[in-house]
Amino acid sequence: MPDSKHYIAPEQLCVGLFVQLDLGWWEHDFAFNSFKIKDQAQLDALLELGLPRVRYDPARSDCQPLPHPDELPPAIVEEAKPQPAPPSAEELAAQARAVKLSKLRKRLAEVDRKFIHTSQMVKELTQTLHRAPEDVLKQAGEVVRELVGTMMAEDGVVLHSINGKAAEDAYSHALNVTVLSMMLGRQLGYDSEACHTLGLGALLHDMGKMDVPSKVLLKTEPLNRPETQFLHMHPEFGRRRGLKLMLDDEVLRIIYEHHEYCDGSGYPNQLHEAAIGRLSRVVCITNHFDNLCNPHNPREAISPHEALARMFNQHKERFDQVALKAFIRCMGVYPPGSLVQLQDGRFGLVLGMHPTLPLKPTLILYEASIPKSEALIVNLEQEPELAIARSVRASELDEAARDYLNPRQQLTYYVDPKRPK
């Protein structure tokens, strides 16, 4: 709904009016810039702002404003003048909220910095596979050791979606599968040694694609039968490369089995669950999930929320049931990268979540009155009055909201340790 152009004096405010504040979010202590005055406490807080005039929306108000002071007898005019606002608890609360938001922004910036660093390491690792494969194990070990240190944090980890340019390069799939696999491994109770092996296998799971022609890998149309057969050879190609690198047997097994489904419908050997390694079954889940969210053809991409629903409702027989349910707990009801609508009707983009708080992620909210560069970021764990109503598709948002929230075509994930409130 467009902003109202109706202005009234502060003395005309009353309970039931829908007001729109022409202020930055840090200049007041209300949850939003646009709201209906619900009680005397809100009315008093508005008057204490000392505004010369206030914008209101007649169409969304329950009543008319009070008469203008000029229309009242002089004695009443004198009584209607707002009193100078002394320092108040509301002002202190607004300052505290600004500090909290600043800390949250710094934390997200630090996660972005760590992601860029790790992403660069993965890029260098991929290039090393081509020119100096003997150095691959050392570089892969460095990447995985850093992630193991994060994953084993005492209070668990917070999963974030990365929403920057660096998240859209060709190396994101390997890093996504590695991060998600190690997080799932921790959820399943794996120790640091098992998580390290899992991480190495996940990071190198697709190295056999180096032996598949680019015209097959980059083709956006459906593959023909010979092309499909060639693509399905990449686990074997990867195993052969791994043998030359003298990789650990469990790592080799992940590379070879990451496309084997528990119902026998996978490849290259149509194995059933009992014949597939436990670490391979983990990587199968995370690899499948990332391929749904980030397919080679972006037009076929679905949201993280839809991907989890499809895996559980339509194809759960393909996966280890214990691991699949643990993965859904890890990702939350609204995984990072999901677009959501709050119960108050506003839209947001999920930035991060902790597995123990599936309904309380961190969001960036669409608020037309706040510049995009100063967008409101809220942690629902700390905002009990806010709640998510449902997941939405990008097509349900208008152009302004889509541009503001900027959901990426390619999703990338990273983690950092959960920190005290």
* Structure tokens, 300: 């076929």
Residue, of 176 and 279, whose pLDDT is higher: 279
Residue 364 maps to a domain? yes
CB-count burial class (<10 Å; 0-12, 13-18, 19+) for 169: middle
**Is there a cis peptide before residue 268, judged by omega within 30 degrees of 0?**
yes
Residue 334 maps to a domain? yes
* Structure tokens, 212: 């598949």
Whose CA is closest to 14, among 91, 50, 67?
67
Query: pLDDT by residue (tens digit) across 180-205?
Result: 999 999 999 999 999 999 999 999 99
Question: In which domain, by residue range, is 25 found?
Answer: 6-86
Percentage of the chain beyond pLDDT 70 is: 84
For β-strands 157-162 and 18-20, DSSP reports them as unpaired
Total of domains in the chain: 2
Q: Is the pLDDT confidence value at 221 over 80?
A: yes
Q: Is the pLDDT confidence value at 217 over 70?
A: yes
So what's the pLDDT on residue 404? 87
Q: Are residues 199 and 227 in the same domain?
A: yes
CATH, residue 277:
1.10.3210.10
**Average pLDDT value for residue range 310-325:** 96
Identify the H or E element spanning 57: none
Q: Are residues 270 and 392 in the same domain?
A: yes
Rg of the Cα trace of the chain?
A: 27
| Mean per-residue pLDDT of the chain | 84
User: Which one of 76-90, 278-292, 392-406 scores highest in mean pLDDT?
Assistant: 278-292
Query: pLDDT by residue (tens digit) across 41-85?
Result: 888 888 888 888 888 988 888 888 888 766 554 544 445 456 556
**Average pLDDT value for residue range 250-274:** 97
So what's the pLDDT on residue 47? 87
Q: Assign 410 a pLDDT band (cuts: 50, 70, 90).
A: low
Residue, of 316 and 110, whose pLDDT is higher: 316
* Residue at which a domain ends, from 86, 120, 137: 86
Mean pLDDT lowest among 1-15, 149-163, 219-233? 149-163
User: Which one of 145-154, 222-231, 263-272 scores highest in mean pLDDT?
Assistant: 263-272
List C-alpha distances in Å: 208 to 125, 204, 231, 236, 264: 14, 9, 9, 7, 22
Answer whether 235's CB lies under 8 Å from 266's CB.
Answer: no
Q: Is the pLDDT confidence value at 112 over 80?
A: no
* Residue at which a domain ends, from 86, 117, 132: 86
Q: Assign 33 a pLDDT band (cuts: 50, 70, 90).
A: confident
Whose CA is closest to 311, among 303, 301, 319?
319
List C-alpha distances in Å: 120 to 17, 211, 300, 403: 53, 23, 27, 28
Q: Are residues 288 and 358 in the same domain?
A: yes
Answer whether 293's CB lies under 8 Å from 411's CB.
Answer: yes
Residue 409 maps to a domain? yes
List C-alpha distances in Å: 366 to 138, 320, 332, 390, 411: 44, 38, 21, 15, 19
For residues 256 and 297, what is the distance between their CA atoms, to the nearest angstrom?
25
For residues 305 and 373, what is the distance between their CA atoms, to the nearest angstrom?
27
For residues 211 and 237, what is the distance between their CA atoms, to the nearest angstrom?
7
Q: Is the pLDDT confidence value at 412 over 80?
A: no
CB-count burial class (<10 Å; 0-12, 13-18, 19+) for 260: buried
Q: Is the pLDDT confidence value at 90 over 80?
A: no
Query: pLDDT by residue (tens digit) across 141-159?
Result: 888 998 888 887 755 566 7
Collapse the DSSP code of 400 into the 3-class scheme (helix H, G, I; strand E, B; otherwise coil) and give the result: helix
So what's the pLDDT on residue 170? 56
Q: Is the pLDDT confidence value at 163 over 70?
A: no
Q: Are residues 122 and 72 in the same domain?
A: no
* Residues 6 or more apart in contact with residue 291 via CB below 8 angstroms: 173
Identify the H or E element spanning 316: none
Q: Are residues 69 and 110 in the same domain?
A: no
- The position carrying tokens 């100063």 is 374
Q: Are residues 82 and 115 in the same domain?
A: no
Measured in residues, the chain has a length of 421
So what's the pLDDT on residue 353? 81
Query: pLDDT by residue (tens digit) across 9-27?
Result: 888 899 999 988 887 766 7
* Structure tokens, 207: 């190295």
Percentage of the chain beyond pLDDT 90 is: 36
So what's the pLDDT on residue 123? 78
Residue 316 maps to a domain? yes
Answer whether 307's CB lies under 8 Å from 293's CB.
Answer: yes
Q: Are residues 208 and 317 in the same domain?
A: yes
So what's the pLDDT on residue 388? 94
Answer whether 182's CB lies under 8 Å from 202's CB.
Answer: yes
